[in-house]
A and B are shown apart, each in its own frame.
Chain A
Amino acid sequence: AQSVAQPEDQVNVAEGNPLTVKCTYSVSGNPYLFWYVQYPNRGLQFLLKYITGDNLVKGSYGFEAEFNKSQTSFHLKKPSALVSDSALYFCAVRRTGANNLFFGTGTRLTVIP
């Protein structure tokens, strides 16, 4: 079985401050981990993924995420938040050999001007 937990429904951060959106996962074998962002009434946009290699992954729009195997976490981070980063963020996991993604419940990020 596989699962993804995003413990925070809502994250508020002031513009210019660093942001973190948390994600923990449970999956058998080596995980493929993804972050997607969704703007209102839009589909999901791919931000970044971890497959193998360096634990720190850099993605689109200045976002990065750190894979921590011991803590089974894949938190999304950005050094300086922008108001335009306000959106719904989904963490997803795919088990090696599996076909589909399994999504977390999403975290709504609000960046306050």
Chain B
Amino acid sequence: GAVVSQHPSWVICKSGTSVKIECRSLDFQATTMFWYRQFPKQSLMLMATSNEGSKATYEQGVEKDKFLINHASLTLSTLTVTSAHPEDSSFYICSARDRRLAQETQYFGPGTRLLVL
């Protein structure tokens, strides 16, 4: 099946720093990638939809200036948490949809756990 990777798998940073998370589709091209956030014992909440070559579409309540998304190629999307604060600590998961398939399935990365001190 399709493989999506994320890097790093976990990161600890000081408050006020910026953190970049990469999401790659390894064996397929993804015109659309999604970024989710998951709090402990809760479901995934969609943060934004990332389209290759265009601006991301953010869900209501998600600050686009804080969570910068770049979808530079058909296999790479990045999420940058700018000026991170402890409340940004969470599990961030990306997913990608295979453009070849008519009724595409989303394939998920393994997630990145962010801890802001």
Contact = CB atoms under 8 A, between A and B. Distances in A.
Contacts, number: 49
Nearest to A96: B103
B115 to A, nearest CB: 13
A21 to B, nearest CB: 14
A49 interface: yes
Contact of B111 (A41, A102, A105): A41
B106 interface: yes
A34 B107 CA distance: 11
B102 to A, nearest CB: 9
Interface string A82-112: 0000000010000000011111111000000
Given A49-B105, A101-B106, A41 B113 contact: yes
Interface string A20-63: 00000000000010101000011111100101000000000000
Interface residues on A, range: 20 to 34
Given A103-B43, A105-B42, A43 B6 contact: yes
A100 B104 CA distance: 11
A104 B113 CA distance: 21
B11 interface: no
B110 A42 contact: yes
Nearest to B106: A101
B67 interface: no
Given A32-B103, A51-B103, A99-B49, A44 B108 contact: yes
11 contacts: A32-B103, A43-B4, A44-B44, A44-B95, A49-B105, A51-B103, A99-B32, A101-B95, A103-B44, A105-B42, A105-B43
Interface of A: 32, 34, 36, 41-46, 49, 51, 90, 99-106
